Amino acid sequence: MVYFEEISLQTVGFSDIHDLTGQISAIIKRSGVSNGLVNVFGIGSTNTITIVEYEPALVEDVKDILEKLVPSSMRSRHSETWGDDNGFSHMRATLFGCEVTAPIENGSVVLGTWQQIIVIDHDNSSRTRRVRVTVMGE
Amino acid sequence: MVYFEEISLQTVGFSDIHDLTGQISAIIKRSGVSNGLVNVFGIGSTNTITIVEYEPALVEDVKDILEKLVPSSMRSRHSETWGDDNGFSHMRATLFGCEVTAPIENGSVVLGTWQQIIVIDHDNSSRTRRVRVTVMGE
Amino acid sequence: MVYFEEISLQTVGFSDIHDLTGQISAIIKRSGVSNGLVNVFGIGSTNTITIVEYEPALVEDVKDILEKLVPSSMRSRHSETWGDDNGFSHMRATLFGCEVTAPIENGSVVLGTWQQIIVIDHDNSSRTRRVRVTVMGE
């Protein structure tokens, strides 16, 4: 059985981070799937789906490590060529990935107590983000 | 068809690395699934599931690159706020990811000769780790 | 329903990048699956499957960020032990990952306009690469 929904959310860019776990859990309930997998996929080339303990200090730590590994001031041929200045956003998305697949048991996503599924908008302006949630199982 | 089991293992932290490939293969056999996908998911916010050639020199190389990219001495608001000194562990987990999904053909996981599925415990003390293995297919 | 095919391609190494999106879309069509998931898995311990906007400037940016984060000149115990000088290739593969799972709707993979699924061959010589594409759904 396959079921999907899309989450739409407003983001402000520059590695803006939102917790999606509650919405994903609700979609799994509506799917009626008891056991299987859920795939969470960020539609767009400058966003990341990953997992972190969603608490304010770690959210800031994630922004710091992104800035350290892929600085917003990095030289980018993409930015130079197209003038949209978001080469760093693309690189952050490619490095951290845009999807997570997680197990479902008894109608709930299987996560550690401190694991939340998040979206990071790496782009350099506010926008509407679309995240596709696909539930497969029985 | 959906089948799952959990692997439990003792780890010592500080990016301790264990090869799970044998146990994953045995779970696929027990599932009875011939063709499909296997999802390997590390339960907990300070562990990674990834793939590497599991030989002693590369295992040390992985620890070196982790220390270079996300030093255990990094400044962390999480560590400063909560006093548990494992902000770097969370960042390593988020950067490297906590799950891998791989193909199954004829009852075996499809991997290159030198590809092993590993768990990395990034935390700063020994603990019992739980890894969920979900098999889907026919 | 499960369907799979393998893509075979020639690569030149040193993080050579190829766009697989067209071939993946054709495989989904041949599978007959309307809704579900597609898993793209690079067979081999020195390749990456990830997503980026496939345009020449960003392709060069990806190579730059790989060289910055995991330099081809990095000290590697693997290279020193085995003399094959590709320790950096393994580390790039482990950091960036070797698989992506994406949603399928109405017989097409769900991607943003600027999201292409790519393979990166990180090794230090030309070779034939195998990428397994598994389609599951209904």
d(CA A43, CA A89): 14
Question: Per-residue pLDDT for chain A (138 aa), expressed as one digit of tens each?
Answer: 999 999 999 999 999 999 999 999 999 999 999 999 999 999 999 999 999 999 999 999 999 999 999 999 999 999 999 888 999 999 999 999 999 999 999 999 999 999 999 999 999 999 999 999 999 999
Residues of C in contact with A45 (CB under 8 A): 51-53, 112, 114-115
Q: Which residue among C77, C87, C134 places its CB closest to the CB of B103? A: C134
Confirm if B32 and B2 have CB atoms less than 8 A apart: no
Token readout for B106 is 């004829």
3-class secondary structure, B79: helix
Q: Which residue among C2, C69, C101 places its CB closest to the CB of B36? A: C2
Q: A66 CB near a chain B CB, below 8 Å?
A: no
Residues 6+ apart with CB under 8 A from C43: B110, B111, B112, B115, C6, C129, C130, C131, C132
Residues of C in contact with A4 (CB under 8 A): 35, 103, 105
Please list the alpha-helical segments (H only) found in B6-138.
21-31, 56-69, 77-82, 87-96
Question: Residue A78 and residue C58: Cβ atoms within 8 Å?
Answer: yes
d(CA C9, CA C26): 16
Q: C-alpha distances in angstroms, B28 versus B5, B36, B42?
A: 10, 10, 17
Residue of B72, B86, B91, B129 for testing the chain A interface, max A β-carbons within 10 Å? B91
Residue C84 clears pLDDT 90, i.e. is over it: no
Question: Residue A77 and residue C97: Cβ atoms within 8 Å?
Answer: no
pLDDT for the residue C72: 96
3-class secondary structure, A110: coil
Query: Where do we find the tokens 């990180």?
Result: C122
Residue in C44, C18, C40 with CA at minimum distance from that of residue C27: C40
A84/C92: higher pLDDT: C92
pLDDT for the residue A136: 98
All structural domains of chain C:
2-137 (2.60.120.460)
Residues of C in contact with A134 (CB under 8 A): 36-37, 103
* The residue type at C125: S
Residues 6+ apart with CB under 8 A from A112: B43, B44, B45
Residues of A in contact with C35 (CB under 8 A): 2, 4
Residue of C34, C37, C64, C104 for testing the chain A interface, max A β-carbons within 10 Å? C37
DSSP string, C99-121: EEEEEEETTEE---TT-EEEEEE
Question: Per-residue pLDDT for chain B (138 aa), expressed as one digit of tens each?
Answer: 999 999 999 999 999 999 999 999 999 999 999 999 999 999 999 999 999 999 999 999 999 999 999 999 999 999 999 888 999 999 999 999 999 999 999 999 999 999 999 999 999 999 999 999 999 999
Rounded to 10 degrees, what is the CA torsion of C76, C81, C82, C85?
30
Q: Chain C: residue nearest A70 by CA?
A: C65
Q: Which residue among B35, B60, B105 places its CB closest to the CB of C77? A: B60
Whole-complex ipTM: 0.97
Residue C58 clears pLDDT 90, i.e. is over it: yes
Q: Chain A: residue nearest C34 by CA?
A: A2
Residues of B in contact with A100 (CB under 8 A): 97, 99
Residues 6+ apart with CB under 8 A from B79: B85, B86, B87, B88
Q: What is the mean pLDDT of residues C108-129?
A: 97
Residues 2-21 (C) with a CB less than 8 A from some CB of A: none
Summarize pLDDT for C28-56 with one digit per residue, the tens.
999 999 999 999 999 999 999 999 999 99
pLDDT for the residue C37: 98
Residues of B in contact with A52 (CB under 8 A): 45, 90, 93-94
* The residue type at A101: T
Confirm if A2 and C34 have CB atoms less than 8 A apart: no
Axis-axis angle for helices B87-96, B56-69 (nearest 10) = 110
pLDDT for the residue A84: 84
Q: Chain A: residue nearest B86 by CA?
A: A58
Residues of C in contact with A90 (CB under 8 A): 52-53, 58, 61
Residue C95, exposed/middle/buried by CB under 10 A (0-12, 13-18, 19+)? buried
Q: B32 CB near a chain C CB, below 8 Å?
A: no
d(CA A91, CA A69): 10
